[in-house]
Amino acid sequence: MPTEGVKVAVSAERKGKRRVSVCAGTACVFAGSMKVRDAFVAEVEAAGMRDAVEIAIIGCHGLCSQGPLAVVSDGDTYYPRLKVKDVKRIVEEHLAGGTVVERLLYVDPGTGARIACAHDIPFYSQQLRIALRDVGVIDPENLDEYLARGGYEAARKALTAMAPDAIVEEILASGLRGRGGAGFPTGTKWKFARSSPGDVKYIICNGDEGDPGAFMDASIMDGDPHAVIEGMVIASYAIGAHEGYIYVRAEYPLAVRRLRLAIAAAEERGFLGEDVFGSGWAFKLKIKEGAGAFVCGEETALIASIMGERGMPRKRPPFPAVSGLWGKPTNINNVETFASVAWIIAHGAAAYAAIGSGTCKGTKAFSLAGKVVNGGLAEVPMGSTLRHVIFDVGGGIKDGREFKAVQLGGPSGGCVPASLLDTPVDYESLAATGAIMGSGGMVVADDTTCMVDLARYFLQFTQNESCGKCVPCRIGTKRMLEILERITKGQGRESDIASLELLASTIKKTSLCGLGQTAPNPVLTTIMYFRDEYEAHIAEQRCPALSCDALIAYTIDADACTGCMLCAKKCPVDAARGEKKQPHIIDQELCIKCDACRAACKFDAVNIVSGPREIAAAVTAQRGG
């Protein structure tokens, strides 16, 4: 299996230096990686090794749950979960002394063995990276590092040695399909835009990654911005567009900053501008920052937003390829789609088409989150099974709990249960489960996740983000949300499931755009696969996952409680109380169900119970002692 893009230390090797690459992806930065970077700089300086060791930042390295992490170039030694105090040891023992710091190496959760080299860690060795080929390898703020990895070679070849039609044919032959989720063949889209009459055409990169729980596009934009730009340069020439926009979600300031730097650097070298690669081709690229509206991920809404209007979708046709931005032919592709283009031109359509399954070629990037061991960014060949992604790459479920479902495609997607774990990851197979491929967000749920509440969460999201233009979406999602809220509060009615199904089918059939047409998916799939949970909420006022606040109670098991008083100390509302060394109780009148007592208890004495009878029994038991 080719593993494009795992070898680290590009620029450092050229300069004959060793290199420490510190991950500066969003999750690692949140976990404090910039402090770790500063510590490396200071310690290397203090050890007098400034000329021999380069401290670099890299985009998302992938295994976010192990952050902050750093990779040392000799042997690509992988140091996860770093603290500032660990840095001195790595500099002294490894960089100066030449001995890997065993104690700080990654521990395989499966075998318990320590693994030194990044490529030997299952999370990485099980992947195949094309769109993410340089993410986590190069310094995203340094164009030379992208060039050292063959960057802009494909664009140069395309613009100086290929005819636009030949490029479109190449993309068609590769089988690349839109990675934003809908899976429309990219080559066909380009062909439409190319053959549309008109001198002025536009291309747009859709970086409005709005699905909560998805961060692939962000990682590409802030980890390898030139890959996106290069793909757009190739597309501009193939389609005949001299102007392009990258529309970036408002919540991604890092992506905006890195893209701006990358565009300026590319302009300086003549990879963008009036005369790209001296070919005479002119292409100008601009960034448009979104203003916070999920629906702008829909292409006609996105175009309205670039024009400074309310981002409301309109009816298609005319499709943007015919009449898009300012009424001109416009081609819109997603970030990951553009990031795959240069690889295809460089390696040939056949190489790309050789990867993947029947109707779905190439690879797909996923963000793995939720109750999975290896949370992070992964790219696998199309057609890999969900089981492969979640268990082989993802390392299975956290805390040894049980897999319940995986939520794919965010608010437009659905929940796939354990019985369908061997479903291949491709557009058609996932659609058959009722979920969708979507942009690639995978949120894993375990037995503590309530599926009714998860459906309610997504409905609340889409209801909030509905633009309000069409009635089924605006009012239909509101009615569905009201029903779901009622059910999670234990006030469900017998007819509620049927009402939800009726509303869902009407909304799917009659909404104007993709937001409304897919909004019911989370509800429909959870009803399809977890109907018993809905029924337990409605008929028994019981939440089987012990998650819905209105249906649960915290009580203390008098036999297990030692009277250590820790829960009483942690309780913010003085609901947990008792005498020292005597079993405590939780006052149900005062309890706000914040979970602080259960999290604090060292004796597993705090229980969550659900259902009126169960609660009554547990409350009586804790009083009775």
Partner 1 sequence: MPRRVVRSEQAPAGAAKQDDLDLSQVATIVDEGDAHGNLIALLQRTQSEFGYVPEPAVDEIARLTGVPASRIYGIITFYAQFSTVPSGRHKLLVCHGTACHVAGATRITEALEQELDVPDGASTADMEFSLGSVACMGACSQAPVMRVDEETYGNLSADHTRKVIREFVKELGLEAHYPGIAGGGSTGGGGGGV
Q: Is 369 in the site for partner 1 (CB under 8 A)?
A: yes
Count the site residues for partner 1 by CB under 8 A: 73
CA 23, distance to chain mean position in Å, is 17
Q: Find the part of the chain contacting partner 1 (CB under 8 A) among 6-14, 137-145, 368-376, 601-609.
A: 368-376
Q: Is 595 in the site for partner 1 (CB under 8 A)?
A: yes
In the region spanning residues 97 to 126, those forming contacts with partner 1, defined by CB under 8 A, are: none
Nearest partner of 457 among 523, 507, 405, 517, judged by Cα: 523
Q: Which residue in 340, 363, 433, 466 binds partner 1 (CB under 8 A)?
A: 466
Minimum CB distance to partner 1, residue 65 (Å): 4
> What character string, x for contact with partner 1 (CB under 8 A) and - otherwise, covers 297-326?
--------x-xxxxxx-------------x
∠ Cα 34 132 352 (to 5°): 170
Half-sphere exposure of 382 (CA within 13 A, CB side): 26
Q: Which residue in 6, 12, 24, 29 binds partner 1 (CB under 8 A)?
A: 29
Toward partner 1, which CB reaches closer, 252 or 391?
A: 252
369 beta partners: 443
Q: Which residue in 15, 110, 165, 464 binds partner 1 (CB under 8 A)?
A: 464
Phi/psi of residue 442, each to 5°? Answer: -125, 110
Toward partner 1, which CB reaches closer, 30 or 268?
A: 30
Q: Is 26 in the site for partner 1 (CB under 8 A)?
A: yes
**Taking the C-alpha atoms of 8, 9, 10 and 11 in order, what is their torsion angle to the nearest 10 degrees?**
160
Q: Is 514 in the site for partner 1 (CB under 8 A)?
A: no
Q: Is 569 in the site for partner 1 (CB under 8 A)?
A: yes
In the region spanning residues 175 to 234, those forming contacts with partner 1, defined by CB under 8 A, are: 210-215, 218-219
Minimum CB distance to partner 1, residue 310 (Å): 4
Q: Which residue in 262, 483, 538, 571 binds partner 1 (CB under 8 A)?
A: 571
**Taking the C-alpha atoms of 290, 292, 294 and 298 in order, what is their torsion angle to the nearest 10 degrees?**
-20
∠ Cα 600 605 610 (to 5°): 100
The residues near 609 (Cβ < 8 Å, ≥ 6 apart) are: 546, 552, 553, 555, 615, 617, 618
Q: Find the part of the chain contacting partner 1 (CB under 8 A) among 9-17, 338-346, 428-436, 440-448.
A: 440-448
Q: Which residue in 19, 191, 371, 537 binds partner 1 (CB under 8 A)?
A: 371
Q: Is 519 in the site for partner 1 (CB under 8 A)?
A: no
Q: How far apart are CA 264 and CA 271, in angstroms?
A: 10
Q: What is the DSSP string of 196-247?
A: S--S--EEEEEE---STT--HHHHHHHH-HHHHHHHHHHHHHHHT-SEEEEE
Q: Find the part of the chain contacting partner 1 (CB under 8 A) among 62-70, 269-277, 336-344, 612-620.
A: 62-70
Q: How far apart are CA 553 and CA 546, in angstroms?
A: 9
- Helices 164-174 and 186-195, packing angle to 10 deg: 150
For residue 351, give both structure tokens: 């190489």
Minimum CB distance to partner 1, residue 477 (Å): 12
Q: How far apart are CA 189 and CA 317, in angstroms?
A: 14
Q: Find the part of the chain contacting partner 1 (CB under 8 A) among 22-30, 71-79, 178-186, 274-282.
A: 22-30
Q: Which residue in 172, 564, 594, 621 binds partner 1 (CB under 8 A)?
A: 594
For residue 221, give both structure tokens: 């934009």
Q: Which residue in 12, 20, 24, 27 binds partner 1 (CB under 8 A)?
A: 27
Question: What is the number of residues in the chain?
Answer: 625
Minimum CB distance to partner 1, residue 168 (Å): 29
Q: Is 570 in the site for partner 1 (CB under 8 A)?
A: yes
Q: Is 574 in the site for partner 1 (CB under 8 A)?
A: yes
- The DSSP symbol for 94 reads I
